[in-house]
Amino acid sequence: ERLVAGEADALERAAEAALRPRSLADFVGQERVREQLAVVLDAARARERAPDHVLLCGPPGLGKTTLAMIIAAELGQPLRITSGPAIQHAGDLAALLSGLAEGEVLFLDEIHRMARPAEEMLYMAMEDFRVDVVVGKGPGATAIPLELPPFTLVGATTRAGLLPGPLRDRFGFTGHLDLYAPDDLRRIIVRSAGLLDVDLRADGAREIAGRSRGTPRIANRLLRRVRDYAEVRAKRVVTGPVARAALEVYEVDALGLDRLDRSVLDALCRLFAGGPVGLSTLAVAVGEETETVEEVAEPFLVRSGLLARTPRGRVATPAAWAHLGLAPPRSVVA
Ligand code: ADP
């Protein structure tokens, strides 16, 4: 139900796939990560060997899957895609790894949600390209070593802090993706408009960029919604005022906050007098999973200076009160 974040349905995924950049050169922004990755890939090509394993960290929608696809494409290798929650037993992982061909790229999304025993098997696979497959149970169990072809693991996580040290250490390169600057988002939107054949004017692109929560996935979604609106209400031309009017219809406000963001702020200010309040209490108050509040809403609220994480809990800043049009309690003003 959320326009701005949340699970994409099949249609959304198809629309998203159509807009994915296919090469590092097409990937907008994140200069540091792009440059570092280019070096990793060039070195691997020069050595004619699979590159080091790559870990990509950052909030949802910033391009982790896209980069994994680009890595495989730049290496001329197929990409295998799986995710942490899909690997609940070491056996799942063993089957997957033993099916890889030499040089193949394995993308493991949400790597922090993989089951513990699988995680331990992954350590060995990453380091020695070998796994021990345990056959049987109890005292009669035997470990059969299985050689693996060299492969490249691209792990992605929204929570680098949740990864155990030994796993983090086995990645040769870690790229941290940050929320995008408005000008990068604007370039992404202009590129997508070209692909979608949308008549987008400069002020329209700026308006959408400013409301995209620093996130390319949201920028592309908002562009598609604005295009719908322009088709039926504005002779198909997306100007600044058209974009603004469209986004108001979809309840995206001037800061790009959507309904979840606003309900988090609203609960924080109205129910908990601006905090400090614990994350899980706040999540219950808005009827969402703790993870959703922490990984989807919070990074942008913190980045926007609306919410602060303190040792005693979440706190609304004076800007949050102002944004909600509420008078802050005295302690906040002081
Ligand atoms: P993640 O895996 O981090 O959740 P994705 O890689 O699926 O994010 O990206 C979401 C969408 O945003 C994709 O449609 C992709 O085309 C677009 N996107 C992400 N990063 C960029 C970028 N740097 N340049 C252009 N488009 C991007």
Note the pLDDT of residue 140.
Answer: 87
Residue 153 Cα, ligand 1 centroid: separation in angstroms? 19
| Shortest-distance atom of ligand 1 to CA 63 | 6
Listed residue (327, 322, 298) closest to 310, CA to CA: 298
Note the pLDDT of residue 124.
Answer: 92
Quick one: DSSP state of residue 173? E
Q: What is the 3-state secondary structure (H, E, C) of 68-88?
A: HHHHHHHHCCCEEEEEHHHCC
| Shortest-distance atom of ligand 1 to CA 219 | 12
Note the pLDDT of residue 334.
Answer: 44
> What residue owns the CA closest to ligand 1's atom 9?
63
> What residue owns the CA closest to ligand 1's atom 11?
217
Check: CB of residue 331 under 8 Å from CB of residue 279. Answer: no
Residue 154 Cα, ligand 1 centroid: separation in angstroms? 15
Strand partners, 176: 57
Active site residue 137: no
Which residues have a Cβ under 8 Å from the Cβ of 137 and sit 6 or more positions away?
Answer: none
Sign of CA dihedral 249, 250, 253, 256: negative
Note the pLDDT of residue 16.
Answer: 86
Active site residue 9: no
* E-assigned strand segments in the chain: 54-57, 79-83, 105-109, 130-135, 142-147, 152-157, 173-176, 199-200, 237-238, 307-310, 313-316
Listed residue (7, 5, 57, 42) closest to 217, CA to CA: 5
Active site residue 109: yes
Per-residue pLDDT of the chain (334 residues; tens, 9 = 90+): 455 444 557 787 888 889 999 999 999 999 999 999 999 999 999 999 999 999 999 999 999 999 999 999 999 999 999 999 999 888 899 999 999 999 999 999 999 999 988 998 999 999 999 998 888 888 888 988 999 999 999 999 998 888 889 899 999 999 999 999 999 999 999 999 999 999 999 999 999 999 999 999 999 999 999 999 999 999 999 999 999 999 998 888 888 898 899 999 999 999 999 989 999 999 999 999 998 899 889 999 999 999 999 999 999 999 999 999 999 887 655 4
The model's pTM is 0.89
**Tokens at 70, concatenated:** 């680009």
Residue 173 Cα, ligand 1 centroid: separation in angstroms? 20
Query: Ligand 1 test: best mutation among 20, 184, 189, 218, most atoms within 8 Å of CB?
Result: 20
| Cα(223)–Cα(196) distance, integer angstroms | 10
* Strand bridging mode 79-83 / 199-200: unpaired
Note the pLDDT of residue 65.
Answer: 96
* Strand bridging mode 152-157 / 130-135: unpaired
| Binding residue ranges for DNA | 309, 314
* Strand bridging mode 307-310 / 130-135: unpaired
Active site residue 158: yes
Amino acid letter, residue 212: S
Check: CB of residue 293 under 8 Å from CB of residue 6. Answer: no
| Shortest-distance atom of ligand 1 to CA 191 | 25
Say which of 64, 211, 227, 244 is annotated catalytic. 64
Neighbours of 141 (CB within 10 A): 9
Q: What is the 3-state secondary structure (H, E, C) of 281-329?
A: HHHHHHCCCHHHHHHHHHHHHHHCCCEEEECCEEEECHHHHHHHCCCCC
> What residue owns the CA closest to ligand 1's atom 6?
63
> ipTM of this predicted complex?
0.99
Check: CB of residue 105 under 8 Å from CB of residue 75. Answer: yes
Cis peptide bond prior to 276, omega within 30° of 0: yes
Note the pLDDT of residue 134.
Answer: 83
Residue 62 Cα, ligand 1 centroid: separation in angstroms? 5
Residue 160 Cα, ligand 1 centroid: separation in angstroms? 19
Say which of 152, 158, 239, 317 is annotated catalytic. 158
Rg of the chain (C-alpha set) = 22
| Binding residue ranges | 19-20, 61, 64-66, 127-129, 170, 180, 217, 309, 314
Active site residue 235: no
Quick one: DSSP state of residue 271? I
Ligand 1 lining (C-beta closer than 6 Å): 16, 19-21, 27-30, 60-66, 188, 216-217, 220
Q: Coil, strand, or helix at residue 17?
A: helix
pLDDT, tens only, 55-93: 999 999 999 999 999 999 999 999 999 999 999 888 899
